[in-house]
Amino acid sequence: MKTIITLLLILLNSVNLSAQELTGKQLLDKSIQYHDPTGAWNTFNAEFTVRMKTPTASDRLSDIIINIPEEYFSVTAVRDTIKTVYTINKGVCNTNIAKDAPKQNRTPCETAALYKNYYTYLYGLPMKLKDEGTIISETVTKRTFKGKEYLVLQVNYTQKVGSDVWFFYFDPATYAMEVYQFFKGDPEAEGANTGEYILLTEEVLINKIKMPKNRAWYYNKDDGYLGTDILE
């Protein structure tokens, strides 16, 4: 029995040591291997539906098409009786917006580009962290968040891409991405009390990629609940 316990301790210690010795890029690669084991993201071509639930408004149902090889993106969103359609096909924008849709500060094509970047980035994670302009920290840290210990990867971006500072939380056993968090600048300085964190629960297999079914959004500053995106 003593020998078995000793072996178990050695194995556990070796797992912990391995996690501590991971570089940021190695951790990212392990997470990509978990979520996209066949490398399907680069040829992703699928349609899926996202229901957005918020505490202050009725649900918004969005039918989304992402076809990376054909450079095609489309989102058809319906809330109450209002329907909007935004499409970008090889860089060419087309929109169809209901007359009673809320007015926006952006042009329709600026909104289309915003939706394309938003949905492609979030549903392409963690694979999108391989994109140009992404700065992966070489240091992997351990952090307890909501009672669970994670391997945490800090990600910054070049000035051209953006100034937000992101943290991605991975399960130390499977390397599944379970939380991410961003700040509007350095969280120890001007970014303090800014940004949000997102809790990921359950999984759905789309185009051979394990994607989170639920994304629940909260403010960093006070844990205020913003809403949940649900894959249907």
Count of domains observed in the chain: 2
Prior bond of 126 cis (ω within 30°): yes
Q: How far apart are CA 207 and CA 56, in angstroms?
A: 33
Q: How far apart are CA 55 and CA 199, in angstroms?
A: 17
Closest CA to 48 of 60, 68, 64, 72: 64
Q: How many CB atoms lie within 10 A of CB 69?
A: 9
Domain boundary among 103, 123, 143: 123
pLDDT score of 6 more than 80: no
Between 19 and 172, residue with greater pLDDT: 172
Residues 31 and 114 in one domain: no
Residues 146 and 111 in one domain: no
Strand pairing report for 225-231 and 209-219: antiparallel
Domain boundary among 92, 123, 154: 123
Residues 33 and 137 in one domain: yes
- 152 in a domain, yes or no? yes
- 119 in a domain, yes or no? yes
Residues 153 and 108 in one domain: no
Boundaries of domain holding 154:
23-40+132-232
Strands (E), 112-187: 134-145, 148-157, 165-170, 177-183
pLDDT at 77: 96
pLDDT band at residue 1 using 50, 70 and 90 as cut-offs: very low
- 61 in a domain, yes or no? yes
Per-residue pLDDT tens digits for 44-73: 999 999 999 999 999 999 999 999 999 999
Per-residue pLDDT tens digits for 15-35: 444 445 899 999 999 999 999
Residues 59 and 165 in one domain: no
- 7 in a domain, yes or no? no
Per-residue pLDDT tens digits for 130-148: 999 999 999 999 999 999 9
Residues 143 and 216 in one domain: yes
Residues 152 and 230 in one domain: yes
Residues 111 and 90 in one domain: yes
- 14 in a domain, yes or no? no
Per-residue pLDDT tens digits for 198-218: 999 999 999 999 999 999 999
Q: How far apart are CA 182 and CA 114, in angstroms?
A: 18
Residues 88 and 31 in one domain: no
pLDDT at 11: 42
Residues 150 and 220 in one domain: yes
pLDDT at 13: 47
pLDDT band at residue 102 using 50, 70 and 90 as cut-offs: confident
